[in-house]
């Protein structure tokens, strides 16, 4: 039996305590659920239970030591025997989705790390879900959770063509709560109409390609702070800082190590070189693996994970991309 190696057990702000493990799982089932999209069912080879997870969580598939990609879990949260991930074969794949489609057939084994949740579902009277393409995977589980609690919800789901859109058979059972909008039939999603009336009892959850996320962010500018929850699969572009980056000091309080982070290095690189144990994965500020608590100082967040409110609080930092506005940062490392 694979013994799950506990990597993290930590209370995270707004995210409850989560338990992250690393283990080898077997592909029990592989289903083609739409054009270019497969759903893998992963289970422990010896049948051991997998850690709990909540809607919005993702796992890392560690296909090779350097090919690590994040995929949202999209199965039943109450089924501790298996995890499911949906993977779109991206024509611009940098190797991850290609590996999944070419190599992860039924019976194959893959190293998995997680689960981790940077897109948690908050309690609300009403949910407005907006999904583009494979962005349906975290939303699909959220819909099941909303439906189970009798919450009021609506889904606006866009895709290139109907045949490229996953889970339509199940989603269309929800009747007029779901608007399916294949671009070749109905054109682009009408976000202006959908988000024209800010409502303090409604939260908006959106996942999809960058163009959709930016458009939703734009359309929600008049909504109450905290209404919009977004998950990115790719790094958001940041304006380079005026005059370039400066060096700053980082004190790793738990390790008792202090380092200077020069302009051409990340905090992650500088502390790792100094011998501090750090976890990382995407190195682009997208996956949240390297998040750590800020004890003192003012971070300069450049990640695509934290919400506006979380950025302003400065309570945590993604050390693979973010820097410091103060001359010194004290981190819980």
Which of 4-12, 122-130, 209-217, 274-282 is the region at the interface with ligand FES (rule: CB under 6 A)?
274-282
Residue 84 or 113 having the CB closest to ligand FES: 113
Among candidate residues 232, 235, 240, 261, the one with its CA nearest the CA of residue 323: 261
- Helix (H), strand (E) at residue 140: helix 136-148
The least distance separating ligand FES from the CB of residue 283, rounded to whole angstroms, comes to: 5
Cα–Cα distance for residue pair 113/110, rounded to 1 Å: 10
Does 281 participate in binding ligand FES (rule CB under 6 A)? yes
Region label for 111, one of left (φ > 0), alpha (ψ between -120 and 50) or beta (otherwise):
beta
Binds ligand FES by CB under 6 A, chosen from 34, 213, 317, 320: 320
Does 280 participate in binding ligand FES (rule CB under 6 A)? yes
Does 7 participate in binding ligand FES (rule CB under 6 A)? no
Does 283 participate in binding ligand FES (rule CB under 6 A)? yes
The least distance separating ligand FES from the CB of residue 256, rounded to whole angstroms, comes to: 23
Could you tell me the two tokens for 62? 């560690």
Does 286 participate in binding ligand FES (rule CB under 6 A)? yes
The least distance separating ligand FES from the CB of residue 70, rounded to whole angstroms, comes to: 8
Binds ligand FES by CB under 6 A, chosen from 72, 289, 316, 324: 289
The least distance separating ligand FES from the CB of residue 225, rounded to whole angstroms, comes to: 24
Among candidate residues 29, 32, 10, the one with its CA nearest the CA of residue 21: 10
Cα–Cα distance for residue pair 114/52, rounded to 1 Å: 10
Contact predicate 263/246, CB 8 Å: yes
Find the farthest-apart pair of alpha carbons in the chain and give their distance in angstroms, rounded: 60
Binds ligand FES by CB under 6 A, chosen from 50, 131, 270, 290: 290
Cα–Cα distance for residue pair 63/110, rounded to 1 Å: 6
Binds ligand FES by CB under 6 A, chosen from 51, 135, 159, 285: 285
**287 Cβ contact partners less than 8 Å away, ≥ 6 residues apart:** 58, 60, 70, 116, 118, 281, 305
Does 115 participate in binding ligand FES (rule CB under 6 A)? no
Residue 142 or 317 having the CB closest to ligand FES: 317
Binds ligand FES by CB under 6 A, chosen from 282, 306, 317, 333: 282
Query: What residue ranges bind ligand FES (CB under 6 A)?
Result: 280-283, 285-290, 303, 318, 320
């Amino acid at each position: 039996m694979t013994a799950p190696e506990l990597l993290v057990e930590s209370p995270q702000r707004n995210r409850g305590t989560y338990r992250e493990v690393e283990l080898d799982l077997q592909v029990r089932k592989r289903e083609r659920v739409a054009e270019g999209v497969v759903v893998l069912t992963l289970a422990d080879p010896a049948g051991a239970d997998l850690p709990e997870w909540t809607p919005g969580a993702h796992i890392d598939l560690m296909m090779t030591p350097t090919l690590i990609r994040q995929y949202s879990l999209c199965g039943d949260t109450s089924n501790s025997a298996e995890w499911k991930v949906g993977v779109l074969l991206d024509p611009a794949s940098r190797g991850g989705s290609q590996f999944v489609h070419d190599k992860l057939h039924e019976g194959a084994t893959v190293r998995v790390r997680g689960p981790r949740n940077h897109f948690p579902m908050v309690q609300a009277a009403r949910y407005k879900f907006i999904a583009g393409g494979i962005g349906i995977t975290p939303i699909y589980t959220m819909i099941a959770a909303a439906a189970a609690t009798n919450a009021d919800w609506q889904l606006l789901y866009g895709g290139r063509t109907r045949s490229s859109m996953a889970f339509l058979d199940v989603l269309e059972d929800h009747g007029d709560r779901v608007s399916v909008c294949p671009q070749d039939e109905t054109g682009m999603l009408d976000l202006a109409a959908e988000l024209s009336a800010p409502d303090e009892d409604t939260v908006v959850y959106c996942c999809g390609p960058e163009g959709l996320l930016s458009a939703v962010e734009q359309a929600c500018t008049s909504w109450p702070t905290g209404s919009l929850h977004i998950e990115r699969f790719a790094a958001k572009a940041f304006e380079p800082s005026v005059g370039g980056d400066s060096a700053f000091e980082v004190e790793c309080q738990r390790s008792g190590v202090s380092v200077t982070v020069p302009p051409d290095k990340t905090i992650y690189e500088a502390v790792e070189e100094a011998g501090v144990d750090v976890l990382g994965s995407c190195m682009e500020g997208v996956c949240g693996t390297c998040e750590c608590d800020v004890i003192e100082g003012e971070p300069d967040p450049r990640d695509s994970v934290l919400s506006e409110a979380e950025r302003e609080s400065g309570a945590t930092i993604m050390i693979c991309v973010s820097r410091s506005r103060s001359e010194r940062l004290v981190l819980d490392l």
